[in-house]
Amino acid sequence: MDTNQQANAQQIALWNGSAGRGWVEAQESLDRLFEPFEDLLVQAVAERKAQRVLDIGCGTGSTTLAVAEQLANTKGSAVGLDISEPMIALAKRRAELTSAPPHFICADAQTHAFEPASFDMIVSRFGVMFFDDSVRAFANLRRAAAPGAALHTIVWRSAADNSFMTAAERAAAPFLPEIPKRQPDEPGQFAFADRDRVYSILEKAGWSEIDIRPLDVACTLPEHELNDYIARLGPLGRVLPQLDEQKRARIIEAVRTAFEPFVHGAEVRFTAACWTVGARAPR
Ligand SMILES: C[S@@+](CC[C@H](N)C(=O)[O-])C[C@H]1O[C@@H](n2cnc3c(N)ncnc32)[C@H](O)[C@@H]1O
């Protein structure tokens, strides 16, 4: 994929590089961690009786595969779309092992030429906060949505509300001052933290019946997977592979201490503070 002079060039480079690699390597662990959100999306699809479902920023495909399985009973179909080639490649490999394989596309949701009005539901688990022009991206998705189609996405609330998610970079900052600080509203994990901003993006993009609600979900991770999680994901996961082994081990050890409040015996527990972002395409 040519990343020069195109929309979302920075995010495309990131998700085809270190971030994509981290998510591919940690796929099983991340899918277990975020399974409660997958269940919520599948439930929403069932409640809406949607038949043609698009999963945006589907990554390694877990939610798309789960939706496809749900739709298999009703002869519905699921499509997963993502800008990350390695993540989509893994999603495709996983689909080959299922009896109701969804279709996976490697493309940018902001600019992809979807067939107009071709989906009656658009879902996403943490895959819509990375656009450099969110209004344009959601307008593009609205055109892909059939009249009356539902939008149902899950996004993170603020970094302050999600201390587990930022514990690693805070603890590593003294060792690694070069780790870029997260800027509010910039494309990334917490870009949709501000509810009013998200409302305004959807309104400008032509969605109606916008409904944004807090969603707090208890998440767990086996304690023995925590070091891997720290080393592979988030801003720290991007920097650590570039360091020599000794420095890496020292930082992981120091950062690990910052996670102690979340460790309960063999389990790591935290509450994910999110929004459910719902809307409808105009009829
Ligand atoms: C935090 S991951 C979530 C992946 C997946 N939804 C899951 O829950 O496992 C965010 C995903 O959004 C994708 N993404 C970022 N910008 C995108 C864009 N413009 N178009 C499509 N996908 C995008 C990334 O490649 C990445 O797979």
CB distance 93 to 25 below 8 Å: no
Core vs surface per residue 239-253: b (16+ CB within 10 A) or e = bbeeeeeeeeeebbe
CB distance 82 to 91 below 8 Å: yes
What is the pLDDT averaged over residues 153-178?
90
- Compute the chain's Rg from CA coordinates: 19
187, two tokens: 């494309």
Q: Which of 1, 3, 10, 11 to mutate to test the pocket of ligand 1 (most atoms within 8 A of CB)?
A: 11
Closest CA to ligand 1's atom 10: 127
Q: Which of 1, 16, 23 to mutate to test the pocket of ligand 1 (most atoms within 8 A of CB)?
A: 23
**What confidence score (pLDDT) does residue 5 get?**
63
What is the pLDDT averaged over residues 9-19?
94
Each residue's pLDDT tens digit, 88-117 = 999 999 999 999 999 999 999 999 999 999
What is the pLDDT averaged over residues 189-200?
97
Quick check: pTM over 0.75?
yes
Residue 14: pLDDT over 80:
yes
188 close to ligand 1 (CB < 6 Angstrom): no
Each residue's pLDDT tens digit, 30-50 = 999 999 999 999 999 999 999
Instruction: Choose among 282, 53, 51: nearest CA to 152.
Output: 53
What is the pLDDT averaged over residues 143-160?
97
Calculate the average pLDDT of the chain: 94
**What confidence score (pLDDT) does residue 4 get?**
47
Q: Are strands 103-106 and 263-264 parallel, antiparallel or unpaired?
A: unpaired
Each residue's pLDDT tens digit, 255-266 = 899 999 999 999
62 close to ligand 1 (CB < 6 Angstrom): yes
**What confidence score (pLDDT) does residue 237 get?**
84
Give 215's strand partners: 274
| CA of 112, closest atom in ligand 1 | 20
Q: Cα separation of 48 and 118, whole Å?
A: 16
| CA of 31, closest atom in ligand 1 | 9
**What confidence score (pLDDT) does residue 1 get?**
45
Q: Cα separation of 194 and 13, whole Å?
A: 26
